[in-house]
Amino acid sequence: MSKVDQEYEKVAKQISYNVANKVLPMDKLPETLQEAYEGLFKELVEDNANAFANAWEALPGSAQKLMPKAEFHGFYIANAWMQLSRVAQEIADSADSEEEMNNNEYDGVFGRLAEQSLKECIRKLKKARTDRSMFNSFKQVMSA
């Protein structure tokens, strides 16, 4: 799904922003973090490795019917952003210096986090089919 249409991207971005904004005030992010978010969003919405598209297609129809694909994509992106932000903060807090941070091996951390986030989101969506409170929390966190 390397090229998404503008409407799909707009919906995914709005949902992602709404969800992330519940945890991190997105309008108050420093410019560097805003750029990091935009880069993450672009990479995950383009889904060049088809990880999201394959996971979505593998979902039972009953799970797909709970919400539009673009909305769920935005939810997943926000979830990945929050996990990445948390881990980045932990790495920064544990390193005594920027040099020490650069010397440690963090290659592949982003990919693993995105994959874990996708699995977690898929699990939650499947559970929301029979758990009304889970479904309602999806809707609540996705709203503006």
Report the Cα 24 to chain-centroid distance in Å.
13
Q: Which CATH architecture has domain 6-142?
A: Orthogonal Bundle (1.10)
pTM of the model: 0.87
Place of tokens 């990919």: 111
| Percent of the chain surpassing pLDDT 90 | 62
Q: Give the pair of three-digit tokens for residue 65.
A: 């019917």
Examine the pLDDT at 1 and tell me if it is beyond 50.
Answer: no
**Per-domain residue ranges for the chain?**
6-142
Examine the pLDDT at 44 and tell me if it is beyond 80.
Answer: yes
